[in-house]
Amino acid sequence: MARLPIDIDAAGKPPLGMPAANFLRNYWQKKPLLIRNAFPGFVSPISPEDLAGLACEEAALSRIVTRQRAADAWTLRHGPFAEELFPTLGDHDWSLLVQDVDKWDADIAALLPAFSFLPRWRIDDVMVSFAAPGGSVGAHVDQYDVFLLQAQGHRRWQIDVSKDPSLAFRDDVELKLLREFHPTHDWVLGPGDMLYLPPGVPHHGVAEDACLTFSIGMRAPAAAELLGDFVDTLSADADEALRYRDADLAPAADPNEIDAAAMRRVLEALNALRMNDPDRLGDWFGRFITLYRSAGAAMPGGDGRSRIEIEWDLQQGATLQRHPWTRMAWRKAARGARLYAAGQDHAMPVRDAQRVAAADVVDGKAYAALSEAGRDVVFALLEEGHYRLALPDEEDA
């Protein structure tokens, strides 16, 4: 079998240079891939100045990483930042990173359909970073898949794909930087080039010139996080009457022993919580995975229009635009489907769940095509702030 390449040119087949099935089979969570011309002729939809302005917003999650090269010392600062700070940072060796830019900028969010070969609920966010020449966040390792798209300027990426790379962290810096880094590959990426990294691959990016990099990161909850949240949900919903019971108790041979019968009763008590119920597990996961880890969330609002008035508006060309922080997914259930939206779940027919989860914008035709149950859910989500009514005469409709 021929050895798979670690770098390719995707100019003829963007963004992966191959069918998605081939990429998922051969590279996804298995090995890195440098993809030249993943987005041929790419022009960044956001400028460094725009990114700096966003980092000044209270609700934005932003960081600045600076390096004192002579001492190999690193400094991490968290936003929001004052506008006056940026001219004082100098012309080299610093980086600005802003999370969730796809929630703030529709042009950034427009990149995500290019990654529709992945489950949408697996994509966490698009982080945008600006780096002055020499800017970096140091050699590190991530525990999730990431696509690093070069948007402007040039960045040198080094990775270590050796069999047993060193993963020990430095203890003298606030950042989780690798104590040792021995790269096996070294590339300079220009606009439109993209580097895919599976979890656990040590990497180091340094700006060759002033540059912007988009990081399309996946959500990969730790098993401990999943277990903790699921157990919390089970505990919150548990009936107090469900308890450890031992109606079959026999005289103890040793009153201090926790015997096998006791452990069997412990398992019976836990199983009463229906931890292995597929529907209960599915509903919990749907709610869990559609909640973002940051504080951004839709809030009830509205202009007091009644449902009849809103439905009339939709017939006249208005649309319902999903709130950028409202994440949706759906799952087949015993009776139809469940739509999960920002940590909530709603019952509806499968066709409705598919359409609502896929649509960032619901127009009159799409709304009318839903069943009554589907329209009820959409209207309930509108009242809770998960949609915004955009009238046809609005400039941004």
Instruction: With beta carbons less than 8 A apart as the criterion, state whether 129 and 215 touch.
Output: yes
Q: What is the mean pLDDT of the chain?
A: 93
Do 157 and 71 share a domain, yes or no?
yes
The pTM assigned to this predicted structure is 0.91
At 2 the pLDDT is 66
Residue that has been written with the tokens 């220009």 in this structure: 190
Domain-located, residue 138? yes
Residues 191, 96 share a domain = yes
In this structure, are 325 and 272 located in the same domain? no
Q: Count up the domains in the chain and report the number.
A: 3
Question: Is residue 127 located within the same domain as residue 272?
Answer: no
Q: Cβ atoms within 10 A of the Cβ of 93, count?
A: 20
Q: What is the mean pLDDT of residues 60-75?
A: 94
pLDDT in tens, 227-251: 999 989 888 888 888 899 999 999 9
Q: What is the mean pLDDT of residues 129-152?
A: 97
% of the chain with per-residue pLDDT over 70: 97
* Residues 94 and 132: beta-carbon distance below 8 Å: yes
Instruction: Clarify whether residues 366 and 269 are in a common domain.
Output: no
Whether residue 119 is contained in a domain is answered as yes
Q: How far apart are the C-alpha atoms of 332 and 32, rounded to whole Å? A: 34
Answer yes or no: do 194 and 242 share one domain: no
User: In 168-236, where do the E strands start and end?
Assistant: 185-189, 194-197, 203-207, 211-218
Question: Which amino acid, residue 306?
Answer: S
pLDDT (tens digit per residue) in 351-375: 999 999 999 999 999 999 999 999 9
Q: Is 136 exposed, middle or buried (0-12, 13-18, 19+ CB in 10 A)?
A: buried
β-partners of residue 348 are: 337
Cα 138 to Cα 135: distance, rounded to the nearest angstrom: 9
Span 202-215, mean pLDDT? 98
Helix 307-315 vs helix 372-383: crossing angle, to nearest 10? 110
Note whether 245 and 200 are same-domain residues.
Answer: no
**pLDDT digits 0-9 by tens, 271-326:** 888 777 788 899 999 999 999 876 577 888 767 789 999 999 999 999 999 999 99
Q: Give the model's pLDDT for residue 395.
A: 47
Residue 84 lies in a domain: yes
Check whether residue 166 and residue 259 sit in a common domain: no
Please check whether residue 296 lies inside any domain of the structure: no
Q: Which of residues 218, 234, 263 is at a domain's end?
A: 218
Q: Are residues 163 and 139 in the same domain?
A: yes
From 218, 237, 266, give the residue that closes a domain.
218
187 has a pLDDT exceeding 60: yes
- Whether 384 is in a domain gets the answer yes
Task: Count Cβ atoms within 10 A of the Cβ of residue 373 and give its class: 0-12 exposed, 13-18 middle, 19 or more buried.
Answer: middle
Q: Is the domain of 252 the same as that of 210?
A: no
Are 115 and 206 in a shared domain?
A: yes
Residue 326 resides in a domain: yes
Dihedral over alpha carbons 329, 331, 333, 338 (to 10 degrees): 10
Indicate the pLDDT class of residue 397, thresholds 50, 70 and 90.
Answer: very low
Categorise residue 17: left if φ over 0, alpha if ψ from -120 to 50, beta otherwise: left
Q: Is the pLDDT of residue 129 over 70?
A: yes
Q: Are residues 180 and 314 in the same domain?
A: no
Q: Which residue has tokens 């609920």?
A: 121
Residue 368 phi, psi (nearest 5): -65, -25
Whether 380 is in a domain gets the answer yes
Query: Per-residue confidence at 262, pLDDT binned at 50, 70, 90?
Result: very high
Supply the CATH number for residue 147's domain.
2.60.120.650
Sheet holding 185-189, edge to edge: 185-189, 155-159, 203-207
Domain encompassing residue 316: 307-390
Is 288 contained in some domain?
no
Asked whether residue 350 carries a pLDDT value surpassing 50, the answer given is: yes
Domain of 378: which CATH number? 3.40.366.30
Top-confidence residue, 93 or 276: 93
